[in-house]
């Protein structure tokens, strides 16, 4: 979540602690922790709870850095240098011979001669950079930044998950104030150059000891311009909230609990930057008849004793409404599963899984006289072939 200039306060932020994970946590553990915290603190689930809204922003900020392998490596190195005093002497004596300091703009920027590299290249994309040749450059207006990624959840029907469906989602996110268009000034008034930072957008922050660095100007928020009269709606912050309903396409074959990424459906960007992404966790409702195992659909099929013993051809349903013929061989045992190819869920390669039909032999609870006589005749005919002969020998 890069902002204009180097965010000095990030050197002291522990994004791992914000997510409740160890510094050596795996990417999977970090993602799991983020999803749990984002779900618990999401503004849609906690309307009016500003504490949880702020917590949601902290969690999103932390995951944006340590959830990205490249950014995480740079953040860890930056924290290591900060903890060991590697950034020193930025100020009046910084970088002068004999002062024992390192000019942070030399370290993070590209001073003179057009040379590149150093920590400016290393941290530039994470913290926004300081600028190039000919000395440290001052910001020239608000940088274009990508909007925040958003999280949401949706529950869809079993058939919709198989076929794919377009759903409506109500989203709430940070956005530029609608009254002042993000300037922070009262509509109709004109700004002037910020006297605190002389229009640079940043000030030198003393973090204690020998450590100091550029920080976003607290008076203008990096905008370089200030208004004498603040916007009455956002009170000068330039920020507001945006509530909107979007149409989201859930692809065919989505599984219960699957997380879908919708590019450009997240929070609006700033300074002309692109919108963030929307991540939707999909929950799939159950079905009265069918179940699912991976890309295959499952179905329990009741059959009678005589169908299992003598064999039969039966009709079984499929999810698309058509029925298929299932051939039951004579002597089929209870619980046997038959495969009907191509009648399952859509697969990633454009094909379909199968329908797995498991037969369940039904025992009638009540027999009429004719049926009882037939079963008793069967018992007499098979009396010389006991099923459990020798089964329990040596069991005790």
Q: Where are the domains of the chain?
A: 290-381
Distance CA 239, CA 260 (A): 28
C-beta separation of 364 from 371 below 8 A = yes
For residue 249, CA distances in Å to 35, 81, 104, 152, 351 come to 21, 45, 48, 14, 20
pLDDT at 245: 87
What is residue 355's three-state secondary structure? strand
Query: Is residue 64 pLDDT above 80, yes or no?
Result: yes
Distance CA 347, CA 157 (A): 18
Six-digit token string for 107? 């370290």
| Average pLDDT score over the chain | 78
Least confident among 159-173, 231-245, 300-314, 319-333: 231-245
Average confidence (pLDDT) over 361-384: 90
Query: Is residue 102 pLDDT above 60, yes or no?
Result: no
For the chain, helix, strand, coil in percent to 5 are 25, 25, 50
What is residue 339's three-state secondary structure? strand
Which tops the pLDDT comparison, 340 or 59? Answer: 340
Q: What letters, b where the CB count within 10 A reaches 16 and e where it falls short, cover 47-86?
A: eeeeebbebbeebbebbbbbbeeebbebbbebbebbeeee
pLDDT at 104: 43
Half-sphere exposure of 285 (CA within 13 A, CB side): 9
C-beta separation of 202 from 5 below 8 A = yes
pLDDT at 145: 74
For residue range 220-251, list pLDDT tens digits in order: 777 778 888 888 888 877 777 777 888 989 99
For residue 31, count other CB atoms closer than 10 A to its CB.
16
Least confident among 67-76, 95-104, 205-214, 370-379: 95-104
For residue range 274-303, list pLDDT tens digits in order: 888 999 999 999 999 999 999 999 999 999
Distance CA 113, CA 98 (A): 23
CA 350, distance to chain mean position in Å, is: 25
For residue 41, CA distances in Å to 49, 107, 259, 337 come to 9, 38, 18, 45
For a pLDDT cut of 90, what percent of the chain falls above it? 35
With CA atoms as reference, report the closest residue to 87 among 11, 14, 1, 5: 11
pLDDT at 294: 93
Predicted TM-score (pTM) above 0.85 = no
pLDDT at 137: 39
**What's the N-to-C CA distance of the chain in angstroms?**
70
Residue 218: pLDDT band by 50, 70, 90 thresholds? confident
Instruction: List the beta strands (DSSP E) in the chain.
Output: 150-156, 165-176, 192-193, 202-206, 212-216, 225-226, 239-250, 259-262, 278-284, 290-293, 296-304, 312-317, 323-328, 337-340, 355-362
pLDDT at 212: 67
Distance CA 314, CA 316 (A): 7
With CA atoms as reference, report the closest residue to 258 among 226, 286, 291, 281: 281
pLDDT at 80: 74
C-beta separation of 213 from 207 below 8 A = yes
Q: Which CATH number fits domain 290-381: 3.40.50.300, 3.40.47.10, 2.60.260.20, 2.60.40.3680?
A: 2.60.260.20
């Amino acid at each position: 979540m890069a902002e204009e200039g180097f965010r000095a306060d990030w050197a002291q932020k522990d994004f791992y602690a914000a997510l409740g994970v160890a510094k050596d946590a795996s990417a999977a553990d970090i993602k799991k922790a983020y999803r749990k915290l984002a779900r618990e603190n999401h503004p849609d689930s906690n309307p009016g709870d500003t504490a949880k809204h702020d917590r949601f922003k902290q969690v999103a900020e932390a995951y944006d850095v340590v959830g990205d392998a490249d950014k995480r490596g740079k953040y860890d190195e930056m924290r290591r240098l900060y903890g060991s005093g590697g950034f020193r002497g930025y100020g009046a004596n910084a970088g002068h011979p004999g002062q024992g300091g390192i000019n942070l703009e030399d370290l993070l920027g590209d001073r003179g001669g057009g040379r590149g590299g150093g920590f400016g290249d290393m941290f530039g994309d994470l913290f926004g950079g300081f600028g190039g040749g000919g000395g440290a450059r001052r910001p020239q207006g608000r940088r274009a930044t990508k909007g925040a990624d958003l999280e949401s959840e949706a529950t869809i029907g079993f058939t919709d998950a198989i076929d794919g469906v377009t759903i409506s989602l109500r989203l709430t996110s940070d956005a530029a104030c609608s009254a002042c268009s993000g300037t922070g000034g009262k509509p109709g008034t004109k700004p002037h150059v910020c006297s605190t930072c002389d229009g640079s957008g940043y000030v030198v922050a003393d973090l204690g000891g020998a450590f100091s660095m550029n920080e976003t100007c607290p008076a203008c928020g990096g905008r370089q311009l200030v208004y004498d009269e603040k916007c009455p709606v956002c009170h000068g912050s330039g920020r507001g909230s945006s509530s909107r309903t979007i149409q989201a396409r859930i692809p065919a074959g989505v599984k219960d609990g699957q997380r879908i990424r919708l590019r450009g459906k997240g929070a609006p960007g700033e300074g002309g930057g692109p919108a963030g992404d929307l991540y939707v966790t999909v929950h799939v409702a159950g079905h009265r008849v069918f179940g699912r195992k991976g890309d295959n659909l499952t179905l329990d099929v009741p059959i009678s004793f005589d169908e299992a013993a003598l064999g039969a051809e039966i009709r079984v349903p499929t999810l698309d409404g058509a029925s298929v013929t299932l051939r039951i061989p004579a002597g089929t045992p209870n619980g046997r599963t038959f495969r009907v190819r191509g009648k399952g869920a859509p697969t990633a390669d454009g094909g379909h899984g199968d329908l797995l039909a498991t037969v369940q032999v039904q025992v009638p609870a009540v027999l009429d006289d004719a049926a009882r006589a037939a079963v008793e005749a069967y018992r007499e005919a098979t009396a010389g072939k006991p099923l459990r002969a020798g089964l329990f020998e040596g069991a005790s």
